[in-house]
A and B are shown apart, each in its own frame.
Chain A
């Protein structure tokens, strides 16, 4: 009887994990792609994350945002992965440097393709990119991002603000180089 009860508990735990965590697999993969920039490595990262999440599922508080909880594990796994690959570079906090080099906020022409938008996000400095991805694509709150990336909320806000600005400038620059947006500017005048 004990054995059967124990099996039922495992079945229950799996069902809870399946219903709470598995629906976020596509979202998790998207974030993993931003972190790993390679499909095979993103899949490995998601797999490691999900196995880790299942082992730690007892620490998840039901009713809280499971996507944020999983994303935190994904982020930690990625840091471990980078350390293991000895590719972890010390990232200088270039916040101030960039903040002083942003003179204006241009309009973004609509002709720019989705591919160029994605490429421009990919070119963002990593410290801005991850915050922008979590806020604007994955729609996580400042508080959740602060917990995932392990930085204060004020830093989340400033990095997001600067990341968005850099992205606007990148896309406006691309548009002007390719002659997009001239008609919109003329119409605005």
Chain B
């Protein structure tokens, strides 16, 4: 049994050695390196959004699926991180609204205030999971420019159906 297995492996190895060259192998590794390095640069679903950034030193405490997570300080809606998306990306089948509500949240990890854009994800019915309504800095509807009670999907190209909300960092406030 062992001999037969050894023979089979040897046969396969020799067949592969006849078919392939070292140069081709090195070329393949190079392609793999290049491809892997460039995948994160693809412009997937980032066209409409301001450049999302990370807090200094990677200090980002808390659970993005929790309403208490610091970036959710002024959110009013379902958390996309519970709906198949993430704190800065929409779930499959939805598109981010370009127009959005913008506020600031304090990051307890590094002590800085960050400017956060709450882009709604649109085009599907309500997600229904992780409803979060914290509203720090929110003003009543009679101050429309500082109220977050709007359905921002009204400004989206895919229709008014609201699915969930993201919380993207777009700047570092003082």
A binds B: no
